[in-house]
Amino acid sequence: MFDLSGRVALVTGGNGGIGLGFARGLARNGAAVMVAGRDPAKNAAAVTALEELGATAASVEVDVTDQESLKAMVARCVEVLGRLDILVNNAGTNIRRPPEQVTLQDWHTVLNTNLTSAMFAAQAAHPYLKAGGVGRVINNGSMLSIFGMPLHAAYASSKGAVVQLTKSLATAWAKDGITVNCVLPGWIDTDLTRGARRDIPGLDDNVRARAPAGRWGTPEDFEGIAAFYASDAAAYITGTSIAVDGGYSIQG
Ligand code: NDP
């Protein structure tokens, strides 16, 4: 039921942080994994890490803000690994700034990286996901898909929209045998949050106190959700968003 042998996954931002957690979960359950990121050294290290799990893995350089680059990423995945069954739209970024100081450039950078990329990666992947008969799209949202924060107008707008994109693609592509779901990470210890943890007074204590789990999340916490959503066990689950947050979002 959870076996992904013979399936191919493509993970944007799969070269580190939560993306590498998703990639490990898929690899551990038998999928071959194409890691897509900008940094060739990180890409290569992630491939090695996945191969050490016994998986088939490869990497492709991509700038997810560029539609042509997304098309080339999908084509490369199919060329190297033969098919594409599972697309994980994980690459993301944040620019923390009060709304009165957000520039148009900031806005476009965050929206293009977090939201527009997911739409057009999914569009490029659609023919292959459909052809394989067991297509999966897994998008990465955030606690800021559901909450607001003062310095996160662009980020929260992008992540809220990722949930709606998930539902829209799910309704459109169910007829093609494709499920589309979303993950809502809580506060996870990665390169992306290290600055916030350092700079936002009280954040570290708040996360530990509010999350019933009593700790920050780790990339390893994302292995299971990726494997589950990708598996046959989740064949009748589509359009959902599952929080992986140690309970942060259920406690006021
Ligand atoms: P990281 O900074 O470790 O990961 C970000 C990833 O995105 C990197 O692999 C990076 O690759 C890739 N990336 C960024 N911009 C681009 C681009 N233009 N083209 C291609 N790849 C790009 O942070 P996280 O693991 O924390 O973040 C992963 C996802 O999880 C993001 O969508 C983030 O919003 C989300 N998230 C994180 C939370 C957290 O607490 N950490 C909470 C909620 C959501 P490269 O280094 O090669 O550029």
Instruction: Write out pLDDT tens, residues 50-59.
Output: 999 999 999 9
- pLDDT of 230 reads 99
| Model pLDDT for residues 141-156, shown as the tens digit of each residue | 999 999 999 999 999 9
Confidence of residue 196 (pLDDT cuts 50, 70, 90): confident
Per-residue pLDDT, averaged over 88-107, amounts to 97
Site to substitute for ligand 1 among 90, 105, 152, 200, most atoms within 8 A of C-beta: 90
Cβ–ligand 1 contact at 208 (below 6 Å) = no
Q: What is the CA radius of gyration of the chain?
A: 17
Is there a catalytic annotation at residue 155?
Answer: yes
- pLDDT of 150 reads 94
In order of 18, 147, 194, the CA distances from 206 in angstroms are: 21, 15, 15
C-alpha torsion sign, points 249, 160, 111, 126: positive
Per-residue pLDDT, averaged over 234-242, amounts to 98
Which contiguous run of DSSP H or E holds residue 42? Answer: helix 40-52
Distance 94 CA to ligand 1 centre (A): 9
Residue type, 218: T
- pLDDT of 200 reads 86
Encoded tokens for 174: 């169910």
Tell me if the pTM is above 0.85: yes
In order of 61, 183, 216, 221, the CA distances from 212 in angstroms are: 38, 19, 10, 15
Cβ–ligand 1 contact at 249 (below 6 Å) = no
Nearest CA to ligand 1 atom 3: 17
Per-residue pLDDT, averaged over 55-64, amounts to 98
Per-residue pLDDT, averaged over 196-210, amounts to 92
Asked whether the predicted pLDDT for residue 252 surpasses 80, the reply is no
Asked whether the predicted pLDDT for residue 199 surpasses 90, the reply is no
Name the residue among 146, 252, 157, 143 with its Cα closest to residue 192.
143
The chain-wide mean pLDDT, for the chain, equals 97
Asked whether the predicted pLDDT for residue 88 surpasses 90, the reply is yes
CA dist 78 and 99 (Å) reads 41
Distance 214 CA to ligand 1 centre (A): 24
Cβ–ligand 1 contact at 92 (below 6 Å) = yes
Distance 193 CA to ligand 1 centre (A): 10
Encoded tokens for 8: 């191919």
